[in-house]
A and B are shown apart, each in its own frame.
Chain A
Amino acid sequence: MSALSNSGGGGHDNSFLKIPTINFTKLFINGHFVHSISGRTFETIDPRTEEVIARVSEGDKEDIDIAVKAAREAFDSGPWPRLPGSERAKILMKWAELIEENIEELAALDTIDGGKLHFFNKAVEIPSATNALRYYAGAADKIHGDVLKMNGEFHAYTLLEPVGVVGHIIPWNAPSLTFFIKVSPSLAAGCTMVLKPAEQTPLSALFYAHLAKLAGIPDGVLNVVPGFGPTAGAAISSHMDIDAVSFTGSIEVGREVMQAAARSNLKPVSLELGGKSPLIIFDDADIDKAAELALFGILFNKGEVCVASSRVFVQEGIYDEFEKKLVEKAKSWVVGDPFDPKSQQGPQADKNQLEQILSYIEHGKKEGATLLTGGNKVGNKGYYIQPTIFSNVKENMIIAQDEIFGPVLSLMKFKTMEEAIKSANNTKYGLAAGIVTKNIDRANTVSRSIRAGVVWINCYFTIGSDVPFGGYKMSGFGRDLGMEALHKYLQVKSVVTPIHNSPWL
């Protein structure tokens, strides 16, 4: 049984808890916090305690309409796209500063909203978000079209224009990071936007909106409308006056987004969907480090990461020792209150997720996989699950094919590199992959052979502001991060005019 920090059950010492007051719970439209038109609100729950944190205004279609009008006005007539890139940059840099000044409170919001580790939010996730913000701020004045060579007497060039009003729909597993990886490049490009945070985690998004205004982002440029997928989200995807949509979430909803876009105004969409990413560990790996990496790959953020390495393939030469080390480490993993600096894994984000994960664990047992460790809830309050590892998994089992989005790993053995590649690619997904080896040829061959958008060699979860990130196959299309991401928010315009008497062609 995994170790518990003493907050999951009986009495606890709350000296490390820093519950923030919730200052922002309304829709942020056109620079103001307003009630939804219907007046409805919804609860946002703390997954540590299963209790209500606050009620948040619930945006619906009519609120999205107003937000889009504000964003349209701000784009077509407002200052934002008409500012030089360097001026947009200054405002975005100021926003990054304000975020850093308020980082305790923001980190706490994501902890009580999403069950994420407080120290991690504060030391890693929110700083990564501000790094991305600064990265794109610095890019705002470096968006270049091309002057073309031309086959005849013409002067032709491309302009990279902001696409217009963008709809962003972000998930609950990394509320701060996903907010900024979408908002930063689109703002830098000169777009205006309507963002719907996940209904599970609306709080930090609203705080960011407040800070955006303080930083000087003009009214109407950034609108944040909390609400639910089938209402507010669908309204964004099918809006006739939104020019592009960027979505991160599940495959099922990704389909809806693309269909709604097709049915409405044929707006381009980019989708970052799920994953069932493979981690391949070769014979020459340092077993202890590899086991460490594999465990981290599945338990980081309680497995609620699209790039989790939920399928681990270990070469037979080191398999037995690896399995032993992995289980040892899993059993000493600390599951507990995410404010407790000793905890390594907090609660799953909500009841839905908890039940889904437990159900997959039952499936795994029924399908005949061997449960090496874990498999149960932890304590009786809060959505805590033990780190869970299955071995003797067959590739066509549901637990090897479906994205579980929890702390559940499928462990498999392989003989040859070719086998490993084939197994790695035996999935409808294609988001990330990891390779553990020091052999240069293996690293190069395997990295080119796995059909996935991100390949980590001797590391995992290494993201950087300039590393493009996105899926192959049914993990979606389009890239976040890197200069690549700007393209989702820009449109190419070609301008051509004849020239006369040019001294060269």
Chain B
Amino acid sequence: MAGVSNGHDGSSFKMPSIKFTKLFINGQFVHSISGKEFETIDPRTEEVITKVAEGAKEDIDVAVKAARVAFDYGPWPRMPGAERGRIMMKWAELIEQHVEEIAALDAINAGKLYHILKGGEIPGAARTIRYYAGAADKIHGEVLKAGREFHAYTLMEPIGVVGLIIPWNFPSIMFVGKVAPALAAGCTIVLKPAEQTPLSALFYAHLAKQAGIPDGVLNVVPGFGSTAGAAICSHMDIDKVSFTGSTEVGREVMRAAANSNLKPVSLELGGKSPLLVFDDADVDTAAQIALLGVIFNKGEICVAGSRVFVQEGIYDEFEKKLVEKAKAWVVGDPFDPKVQQGPQVNKKQFEKILSYIEHGKREGATLLTGGKRIGNKGYYIEPTIFSNVKEDMQVVQDEIFGPVMVLKKFKTIEEAITSANNTKYGLASGIVTKNLDIANTVSRSIRAGIVWINCYFAFGDDIPYGGYKMSGFGRDFGLEALHKYLQVKSVVTPIYNSPWL
């Protein structure tokens, strides 16, 4: 059974007081027009942390108006990129000064590991802001060659008012991953954080104002998908929507955009990413990568390597090592620095994962380890591994979004590629081999937007990141992400007596 830490030691962390629970519109924290509020729950205890103002369509309308004025008349797009960059750098500093408080917010809101938030994720968020801050004055159009006597060039213009809808699994990284490039480009924003995890977003908004981001440029409206989210997608005065979340909701987003003002959308959806482990892999290292690949962040990550294919030569030894490591994995309170896996984010996810585990058993897969809830308070689930799976089983095709891996054997490289691509998704993939030819062939053959070779989850601010197939389209991170928030304008004028063409 997976190791469990026995509750938390209160002296090792400070529960934050929740300062920001209202909508942030036009530079002020305000109640929702309806006055309604909703509860945000702590998945460690299943108890209410606090109530948060619930934004709906009318609040989105007010936020969009503020963002529209800020874009059409305000200083933000009219500042030189370097000045936007300075303000964003200041914002990154303020975030670093408050890293503990923000880390605690994400830990109690989403059950994420405190030490990773504090040491990795939140500083990472600040770094991402700095990356785009530095890019703000490096957004270049092109002067075109032109086949005739014309002077023609492209301008990369900020697209305008952008709607951002982010999920609950990485509240901070998702927040800055979308906000930073949009701001750098000169756009203004209405962002809806996930209803499960609104707290850090509101804190970031507060710090944004302190940093000097003008009123109306960044608006944060907590609320639910079917109300506030839908209002963003179908708003006639939002120029673009960027969405990260499930495939089902992604469809709604695109349809609403088509039905309203035909705003372009970018979608980052789910995944069922394959990890291919070849015969020449170091078995211990590979097993470590595989385990981390599926239970990092309790499996609540779109790029989780949830399907692991191992070449037959090392399969038996690999399976043995994998199960050993899974059984030693420590599941417990995310504030405990010894813990490697916290609770699932909420009851709904928790029940869904357990239901998939039951499916797996019924479908005839072999349960190697795990499969059950841990304890009777908090949404904790054991690291779970199935073997002897067939590729058409639900547990192999559906995204489970929890600590559940399916393990399968393969013979040849061609088989591995076919199996890897046997999914409607196409987000990420991993390859473990030192052989150069295998690495090159397989990386080009897998239909996925990210390929990790001898590593997994290697993120970087400058690595574009997004899906093939039904994992969506559009890229976050990298300079590539700026394109979502820019529009190309071509300007053409005749010239006379040019000494060259």
Mark A residues whose CB is within 8 Å of B. Answer: 131, 148-152, 154, 156, 158-159, 161, 243, 251, 254-255, 258-259, 261-263, 265-268, 271, 273, 428, 443, 447-448, 452-459, 462, 464-470, 472-474, 476-479, 482, 484, 491-498
Residue of B nearest to A460 (CB): B492
**Chain A residue at minimum C-beta to C-beta distance from B459:** A496
Contact, CB under 8 Å: B269 / A266: yes
Once A265-B470, A494-B449 are accepted as A-B contacts, the answer to whether A255 and B439 lie under 8 Å apart by CB is no
B462 surroundings in chain A (CB, below 8 A): 148-151, 156
Contact of B254 with A by CB under 8 A: yes
Q: Nearest Cβ in chain A — how far from B130, in angstroms?
A: 11
Cross-interface CB contact of A492 among B145, B155, B480, cutoff 8 Å:
B480
Residue in chain A with minimal CB distance to B254: A262
Known pairs A254-B262, A464-B152, A494-B450; A152 contacts B460 (CB<8 A):
yes
Chain A nearest CB from B19 CB (Å) reads 32
Residue of A nearest to B455 (CB): A498
Contact in complex: B258, A496 (CB < 8 Å): no
A466–B144 CB distance below 8 A: yes
Report if B487 contacts A (CB, 8 A): yes
Please name the 9 residue pairs, one residue from A and one from B, whose CB atoms are nearest each other, closest first: A262-B254, A258-B258, A457-B493, A497-B453, A477-B264, A268-B473, A259-B258, A262-B255, A495-B451
Nearest CB in chain B: distance from A429 CB, A: 11
**In the assembled complex, how far is the CB of residue A499 from the closest CB belonging to chain B, in whole angstroms?**
10
- A266 adjacent to B251 (CB under 8 Å): yes
* Max count, chain B CB within 10 A of own CB: residue among A458, A472, A495: A495
A-B contact list, 28 entries, CB within 8 Å: A148-B478, A150-B460, A151-B461, A154-B458, A258-B258, A265-B424, A266-B269, A266-B472, A268-B473, A455-B490, A455-B491, A455-B492, A457-B491, A459-B494, A462-B150, A464-B152, A465-B147, A467-B492, A472-B487, A473-B239, A477-B262, A478-B264, A493-B451, A494-B463, A496-B458, A496-B460, A497-B454, A498-B454
User: Of all chain B residues, which has the CB nearest A151?
Assistant: B460
Partner of B464, one of A454, A455, A465, A494: A494
Question: Which residues of chain B from 444 to 501 have any CB-CB distance to chain A below 8 Å in the complex?
Answer: 444, 448-455, 458, 460-466, 468-470, 472-475, 478, 480, 487-494
Across the interface, name the chain A residue whose C-beta is closest to B421.
A76
Residue with the greatest number of chain B CB neighbours at <10 A, chosen from A159, A466, A479: A466
CA distance A418 to B199 in the complex (A): 43
Chain A nearest CB, measured from B180 CB (Å): 15
A496 and B488 form a contact (CB under 8 A) = no
Q: A492-B480, A496-B460 are in contact. Are A459 and B254 (CB under 8 A)?
A: no
Q: Does B250 contact A (CB under 8 A)?
A: yes
Whether the Cβ atoms of A496 and B144 lie closer than 8 Å is no
CB neighbours (8 Å) of A492 from chain B are 449, 464, 466, 475, 480
Q: Is the CB of B452 within 8 A of A496?
A: yes
Given the known A-B contacts A443-B493, A452-B489, A466-B147, are A484 and B154 also in contact in the complex, defined by CB atoms under 8 Å?
yes
Please measure, in the bound complex, the distance between the C-alpha atom of A173 and the C-alpha atom of B152, giving whole angstroms: 25
The answer to whether B464 touches A266 (Cβ under 8 A) is no
In the bound complex, residues from chain B placing their C-beta under 8 Å from that of A156 are 458, 460, 462-463
In the assembly, what is the distance between CA of A466 and CA of B239, in Å? Answer: 26
Q: Check: B422 CB closer than 8 A to any chain A CB.
A: no
A268: chain B residues within 8 A (beta carbon): 473-474
Of all chain A residues, which has the CB nearest B462?
A: A148
B462 vs chain A, min Cβ distance (A): 5
Q: B493–A266 contact, CB under 8 A?
A: no
Q: Is B355 at the interface (CB under 8 A from chain A)?
A: no
How far is it, in angstroms, between the C-alpha of A271 and the C-alpha of B145 when the chains are bound?
26
Cross-chain contact A497 with B492 (CB below 8 angstroms): no
Q: Judging by beta carbons under 8 Å apart, are B450 and A258 in contact?
A: no
Q: How far is the CB of A406 from chain B (nearest CB, A)?
A: 23
A474 CA / B468 CA spacing, docked (Å): 26
Q: Are A496's CB and B154's CB within 8 A?
A: no
Residue of chain A at shortest CB distance from B448:
A493
Bound-state CA distance A151–B469 (Å) is 29
A259 and B251 alpha carbons, distance in the complex (Å): 9
Other than the known A258-B254, A464-B492, what 16 A-B pairs have Cβ atoms closer than 8 Å?
Answer: A151-B461, A263-B251, A266-B250, A268-B474, A271-B262, A453-B489, A454-B489, A454-B491, A459-B493, A467-B144, A468-B490, A477-B263, A492-B466, A495-B451, A496-B452, A497-B454
Interface residues as binary, B232-267 with A (CB distance below 8 Å gives 1, 0 otherwise) = 000000010000000100110111011101111001
Report how far A470 CA is from B487 CA in the complex, Å.
10
CA distance A486 to B468 in the complex (A): 17
B443 on the A face (CB < 8 A): yes
The CA-CA distance from A271 to B448 in the complex, in Å, is 25
Q: B14 in the interface, Cβ–Cβ < 8 Å?
A: no
Tell me which residues across on chain B come within 8 A of A152, comparing CB atoms.
Answer: 460
In the complex the two chains form, what is the Cα distance from A265 to B473 in whole Å? 11
Residue of A nearest to B483 (CB): A487
In the complex, A20 Cα to B460 Cα: how many Å?
A: 60
In this assembly, does B146 line the interface, its C-beta being within 8 Å of a C-beta of chain A?
yes
Give, as a whole number of angstroms, the nearest-CB distance from A58 to chain B: 27
Query: In the complex, what distance in Å separates the CA atom of A156 from the CA atom of B466?
Result: 15
* Complex CA distance for A296 and B292, rounded to whole angstroms: 65
Is B148 part of the binding interface, using a Cβ–Cβ cutoff of 8 Å? yes
Closest B residue to A254 using CB positions: B262
Distance in Å from the Cβ of B251 to the closest Cβ of chain A?
5
A443 contacts which chain B residues (CB < 8 A)?
493
Q: Are A491 and B468 in contact (CB under 8 A)?
A: yes
Shortest beta-carbon distance, A462 to chain B, in Å?
5
Inter-subunit contact B492/A454 (CB<8 Å): yes
Most chain A C-beta atoms within 10 Å of own C-beta, residue among B145, B261, B464: B464
Complex Cα spacing A158 to B473, Å: 15
A426 to nearest B CB, angstroms?
Answer: 13
CB within 8 Å of A: which B142-184 residues: 144-148, 150, 152, 154-155, 157
Give the contacting residue for A464; candidates B147, B458, B466; CB below 8 A. Answer: B147
- Asked whether B487 lies within 8 Å of A453 as measured between CB atoms, the reply is yes
B128 to chain A minimum Cβ distance, whole angstroms, is 10
B155: which A residues are within 8 A, CB to CB? 448
> Is the beta-carbon distance between A482 and B449 smaller than 8 angstroms?
no
Which single member of B145, B453, B468, B492 contacts A496 (CB below 8 Å)?
A: B453
Smallest CB gap from A434: residue in B: B492
CA distance A469 to B147 in the complex (A): 16
Partner of A255, one of B127, B259, B450, B478: B259
Chain A residues with CB below 8 A from B144, complex form:
464, 466-467, 482
Q: Which residues of A contact B253 (CB under 8 A)?
A: 262
Residue of B nearest to A244 (CB): B473
How far apart sit A156 and B441, CA to CA, in the bound complex (Å)? 16
Question: Is the pair B489, A498 in contact by a Cβ cutoff of 8 Å?
Answer: no
Partner of A266 from B154, B254, B451 at Cβ < 8 Å = B254
Contacts of A255 in B (CB 8 A): 258-259, 262
Q: Which residue of B lies closest to A461 (CB)?
A: B492
Contact B453 A453 (CB under 8 A): no
Name which residue of chain A comes closest to B155, CB basis: A448
CA distance A156 to B465 in the complex (A): 12
Chain A residues with Cβ under 8 A from B254's Cβ? Answer: 258-259, 261-262, 266
Measured CA separation A479–B489 after assembly (Å): 10
Contacts of B145 in A (CB 8 A): 466
Which of B239, B247, B255 sits near A263, CB closer than 8 Å?
Answer: B255
Q: Which of B448, B472, B487 has the most CB of A within 10 A?
A: B487
The answer on a CB contact under 8 Å between B492 and A462 is yes
Would you give the shortest CB distance from A305 to chain B, in whole angstroms? 16
Task: Note all chain A residues with C-beta closer than 8 A to B448.
Answer: 493
Judge whether B450 and A493 touch: CB under 8 Å.
yes
A464 neighbours in B (Cβ, 8 Å):
144, 146-148, 150, 152, 492
List of B residues within 8 angstroms of A466 by Cβ: 144-147, 152
Identify which of B250, B255, B465 gathers the most chain A CB atoms within 10 Å of its CB.
B255
- Nearest to A240 among chain B residues (CB) is B424
A271 contacts across to B, CB distance below 8 A: 262
The distance from the CB of B252 to the nearest CB of chain A, in whole angstroms, is 8
